[in-house]
Homo-oligomer: A and B are copies of this chain.
Amino acid sequence: MTDNILARAREMDAADPLAEFRDRFTLPDGVIYLDGNSLGALPKATPARLEEVVRGEWGTGLIRSWNDADWIDMPRHVGGKIAPLLGAWPHEVIVADSTSVNLFKLIAAALEMRPGRKVILSEPGNFPTDIYMIAGLERQGLAERRLAERGSIAGALDEDVSLLLLTHAHYKTGELFDMAALTKAAHDAGALVLWDLSHSGGALPVDLNAAHADFAVGCGYKYLNGGPGAPAYAFVAERHHAQLAQPLTGWFGHNDPFDFTDDYEAAGGIEQLLCGTPPILGLAALEVGVDLVAEMGVDRLHEKSMALSEAFRSCLAAHGVELELVSPEDPERRGSQLSFRHENAYALSQALIARGVIGDFRAPDILRLGFAPAYLRFEDMAEAARHLAEVLASGEWQRPEFNCRAAVT
């Protein structure tokens, strides 16, 4: 049976229009990498590009590269390349800081655009940093956090809410929000919306402007393959640029950073989201990853990601494995991942890692498997499903070494 499953998977690989792209990534031998939703794999072009930036632009160009290599423009330049992946205009997206820091800027901006409304509405169990970033503003007396379960978000939108802050694809379950419907509900209540696209940008079609979204942020190191701790991006709809004001008023967000005046005057466009000096190494690596995603195309990536996860489920079923799926059954309603609830999810994830199948654990009881369509094969689905079936059947996950939690999982 295992042979049949594998043979069918290989047929699917042979018919996969994105199959050739796997070779554009570095993937270690003996590993099936189901964690590209946590840290995307290394594009093969990245080391050479970094070498060029480091030895050439930094080493030889030195300070001149701010002009000659256009470092000064990289946040806009790379942001402009991310924009079409999100249904945004190039001048609406910029690369800056981290997702967390960008959340702060835009939560604070929303509070200022909706005076008298202090509530930031989110859902419990949203990715921690999304909720945590409200805490600082709350302690400063500027914001008030309100959390409402998925089903009751629309009802929690009232005249006190300045901003609805949600993650498009849930980090744990992969469940997608209806971006257009919730954006409309927020607007009807007079609130703004901020979408965290960390688990959807680059993996599935996002259409911020079609949904009339106000703000968005997202991560550079997951589906955009920008490397560990890559800089993040932020989107502000053009209609808000004129009245936008964010509190991290650093010199790179100034209208004329090199005029060296004492008074802050914000740049007019999306550049006002910049704060300190942009991280050039991180931007250069991110650009390589973004270019690859653009070349593959988000629509094709999405098609393949749905096919991969459905193939994985079929293979699990063929092996007779039954696990509680916490992701939506319908692949159109989830991001590029499948999450299963199991009371020993941590040990299961460790036992899989020992077999070279790298997924991850999300507390307290979720085994999360990501299906980055850029570099995974259907063969990997068959093999990963076989390993999971064997781990469960053998009980090897019960070994003590798989039950001792490390710092990061």
**Is the beta-carbon distance between A258 and B407 smaller than 8 angstroms?**
yes
A55-96 residues at the B interface, CB under 8 angstroms: 55, 57-60, 62-67, 71-72
Verify if A337 is at the interface (C-beta below 8 Å from B): no
Verify if A51 is at the interface (C-beta below 8 Å from B): yes
Q: Which residues of B contact A57 (CB under 8 A)?
A: 228
- Cβ contacts A118-140/B at 8 Å (1 or 0 each): 00000011111101110111011
The contact of A282 among B41, B100, B281, by CB within 8 Å, is B281
Verify if A28 is at the interface (C-beta below 8 Å from B): yes
A341 → chain B closest CB, angstroms: 14
A148 → chain B closest CB, angstroms: 12
Which 8 pairs of residues, A with B, have the shortest CB-CB distance?
A98-B276, A136-B247, A100-B250, A100-B276, A228-B280, A129-B251, A135-B264, A42-B59
- Sample 24 A-B pairs with CB under 8 A, ordered by A number: A35-B62, A38-B63, A42-B54, A42-B55, A47-B54, A47-B55, A57-B228, A66-B407, A101-B248, A112-B139, A128-B251, A128-B261, A129-B276, A131-B262, A132-B251, A132-B264, A136-B248, A221-B277, A229-B276, A229-B278, A229-B280, A229-B282, A231-B279, A260-B362
**Is the beta-carbon distance between A100 and B259 smaller than 8 angstroms?**
no
**Is the beta-carbon distance between A260 and B363 smaller than 8 angstroms?**
yes
For the complex with contacts A28-B62, A103-B250, 16 further pairs of A-B residues with Cβ separation under 8 Å are: A28-B60, A42-B55, A58-B228, A64-B358, A98-B275, A132-B250, A135-B249, A136-B246, A136-B248, A140-B140, A172-B260, A227-B280, A228-B279, A229-B279, A260-B362, A281-B282
Verify if A2 is at the interface (C-beta below 8 Å from B): no
**Chain A residues at the B interface, C-beta cutoff of 8 Å:** 26, 28, 31, 33, 35, 38-39, 41-42, 46-47, 50-51, 54-55, 57-60, 62-67, 71-72, 97-101, 103-104, 108, 112, 124-129, 131-133, 135-137, 139-140, 142, 147, 172, 219, 221, 227-232, 245-252, 254, 257-264, 275-283, 285, 353, 358, 360, 362-363, 406-409
**Is the beta-carbon distance between A250 and B133 smaller than 8 angstroms?**
yes
Given A125-B262, A363-B258, residue A358 in contact with residue B247 (CB < 8 A): no
Q: Which residues of B contact A353 (CB under 8 A)?
A: 64
